């Protein structure tokens, strides 16, 4: 994905500035000063923001042109309204990260206060990645981490300690014992890091409960594939839904609790597998851009239609309903999917309030200056569904609320007794569980998922920005 454009207004200003500088040169015979490396990058940043930035009229005045590019970019943003625009020092690395390729130990965590009466911080392993050092060392979902490199995590140091996870490190683990109903210490685990290609298609299974056949799909981010196999993950997703269809399911549970977003291409693929009776003429979602881009005819009516897919499950889902498990980490492209499906079917949500991001981005690199390695992800559009609805900036409220941290321990994903899955299955079967446990009031401090560049991203990798009037 390479996007580069020319803003006529910016070019006119630049041309005028060059004429002025040349005039000065004729009068003084002084050489035109060469722009510094930072100034060249920042000039490019300004041009891109003047062209694409959604809040063009509210963009702030920049700091000095020779400033650090990350500081310069930040100075332009319409904070706090804009929570999501970002700049990364290496475009190529950014593109790898967006498709799930990163150097790590291979486990995700949710952080919480240990207690209201102390400052200790604990981390629950939410899942380990297949083939990762963490999985190979026997770490499991639900394991509790208290120390990193022998240092106890607390409110003052936990963010610094979590930064050590990018290199080889040691974690002190506790594991829940079902018989004694408490956590038991395990030997410390030494972890290395390596380059992993995480597959977003994490779990798929079919449950038969009474006369109900239920497909369950855990999908952790939106990415169609990896370099060399650009459709690998989307093709796997199609195969999963084909298996669901062949298995005769009549309910679908889509688990997006850890899905913070990603690439629009896969959003379109997923929606096309679920919405009932749609063809490539039915609108899934629409885009609206800033005033400058909307002056071009090609940006006045941007909309995306569903794809016609033989694996589509819509017509066989009971009550024209899809069940979606959500949390505060359900964001951006996940919310785009929910909003896009709502005009076509009942989207029944179980879990937590979603993040609330109805705006999206493109990825921009500088193709003209090889010394500029930066990648920009500015907010450039607002998203709407078929019915022009986009009122979820405060998140989607679930139909049934539930927080997995309220449980004594985290059971494996896919276990029918796992808290959020069990709540969803109860809605499908109508059979309430009799084994209720007392809820624990834990204070959620965040998640490692929120540190991924793809978190909170809804990246348009379909629209081409060739501006010609």
Q: Between helices 37-52 and 8-28, what is the axis angle to 10°?
A: 140
pTM over 0.85: yes
Omega of the bond leading into 80 within 30 degrees of 0 (cis): yes
pLDDT digits (tens, 9 = 90+) for 259-291: 999 999 999 999 999 999 999 999 999 999 999
- Quote the pLDDT of residue 318: 98
Q: Tens-of-pLDDT digits for all 469 residues of the chain?
A: 344 333 333 333 333 333 333 444 444 556 667 899 999 999 999 999 999 999 999 999 999 999 999 999 999 999 999 999 999 999 999 999 999 999 999 999 999 999 888 999 999 999 999 999 999 999 999 999 999 999 999 999 999 999 999 999 999 999 999 999 999 999 999 999 999 999 999 999 999 999 999 999 999 999 999 999 999 999 999 999 999 999 999 999 999 999 999 999 999 999 999 999 999 999 999 999 999 999 999 999 999 999 999 999 999 999 999 999 999 999 999 999 999 999 999 999 999 999 999 999 999 999 999 999 999 999 999 999 999 999 999 999 999 999 999 999 999 999 999 999 999 999 999 988 776 678 899 989 999 999 999 999 999 876 666 665 4
- Taken in order 330, 108, 122, 419, the sign of the CA dihedral is positive
Q: How far is CA 161 from the centre of its chain?
A: 24
Residue 47: strand pairing partners: none
- Quote the pLDDT of residue 2: 41
Q: How far is the C-alpha of 51 from the C-alpha of 11, rounded, in Å?
A: 11
- Quote the pLDDT of residue 116: 87
Q: How far is the C-alpha of 451 from the C-alpha of 107, rounded, in Å?
A: 13
Residue 194: strand pairing partners: 104
Q: How far is the C-alpha of 261 from the C-alpha of 455, rounded, in Å?
A: 6
Name 277's Cβ contacts closer than 8 Å, sequence gap at least 6: 314, 315, 344
- In the chain, DSSP finds a helix count (H) and a strand count (E) of 10, 25
Q: Which of 241, 178, 184, 252 is nearest to 214 (CA)?
A: 252
- Beta-carbon neighbour count of residue 413 at 10 Å? 21
Cα angle value 366/264/362 (rounded, 5°): 20
Query: What structural domains and CATH numbers belong to the chain?
Result: 102-195 (2.30.42.10), 199-437+451-459 (3.90.226.10)
Cα angle value 339/206/175 (rounded, 5°): 90
- Quote the pLDDT of residue 28: 52
Largest CA distance in the chain: 90
Helix (H) or strand (E) holding 125: strand 121-128
Residue found by looking up tokens 């679908």 in the block: 252
Cα–Cα distances in angstroms (integers) from residue 196 to residues 101, 162, 192, 241, in the given order? 5, 19, 12, 25
């Amino acid at each position: 994905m390479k996007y580069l454009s020319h803003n006529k207004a910016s070019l006119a200003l630049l041309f005028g500035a060059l004429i002025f500088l040349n005039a000065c040169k004729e009068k003084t015979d002084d050489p035109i000063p060469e722009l510094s490396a930072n100034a060249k990058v920042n000039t490019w940043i300004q041009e891109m923001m003047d062209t694409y930035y959604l809040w063009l009229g509210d963009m702030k005045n920049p700091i000095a042109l020779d400033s650090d590019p990350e500081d310069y970019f930040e100075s332009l943003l319409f904070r706090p309204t804009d929570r999501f625009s970002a700049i990364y020092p290496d475009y190529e690395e950014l593109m790898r990260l967006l498709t799930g390729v990163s150097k790590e130990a291979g486990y995700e965590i949710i952080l919480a206060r240990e207690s209201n009466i102390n400052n200790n911080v604990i981390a629950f392993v939410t899942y380990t990645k297949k083939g990762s050092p963490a999985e190979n060392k026997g770490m499991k979902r639900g394991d509790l981490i208290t120390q990193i490199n022998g240092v106890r995590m607390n409110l003052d140091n936990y963010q610094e300690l979590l930064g050590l996870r990018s290199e080889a490190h040691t974690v002190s683990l506790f594991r829940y014992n079902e018989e004694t109903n408490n956590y038991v210490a395990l030997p410390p685990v030494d972890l290395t890091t390596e380059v992993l290609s995480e597959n977003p298609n994490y779990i798929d299974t079919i449950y038969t409960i009474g006369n109900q056949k239920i497909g369950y799909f855990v999908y952790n981010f939106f990415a169609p594939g990896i370099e060399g196999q650009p459709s690998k993950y989307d093709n796997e997703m199609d195969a999963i839904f084909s298996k669901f269809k062949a298995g005769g399911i009549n309910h679908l549970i889509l688990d997006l609790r850890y899905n913070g977003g990603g690439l629009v291409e896969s959003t379109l693929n997923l929606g096309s597998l679920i919405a009932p009776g749609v063809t490539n003429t039915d609108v899934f979602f629409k885009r609206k851009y800033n005033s400058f881009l909307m002056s071009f005819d090609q940006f006045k009516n941007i909309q995306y239609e569903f794809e016609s897919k033989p694996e589509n499950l819509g017509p066989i889902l009971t009550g024209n309903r899809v069940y979606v498990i959500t949390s505060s980490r359900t964001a951006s492209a996940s919310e785009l999917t929910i909003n896009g499906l709502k005009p076509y079917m009942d989207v029944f949500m179980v879990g937590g309030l979603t993040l609330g991001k109805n705006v999206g981005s493109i990825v921009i690199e500088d193709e003209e200056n090889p010394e500029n390695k930066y990648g920009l992800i500015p907010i450039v559009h607002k998203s709407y569904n078929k019915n022009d609805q986009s009122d979820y900036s405060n998140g989607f409220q679930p139909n049934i609320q539930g927080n997995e941290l309220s449980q004594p321990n985290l059971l494996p994903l896919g276990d029918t007794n796992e808290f959020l899955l069990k709540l969803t299955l109860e809605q499908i079967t109508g059979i309430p569980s009799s084994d209720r446990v007392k809820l624990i009031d834990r204070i959620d401090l965040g998640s490692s998922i929120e540190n991924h560049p793809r978190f909170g991203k809804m990246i348009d990798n379909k629209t081409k920005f060739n501006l010609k009037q």
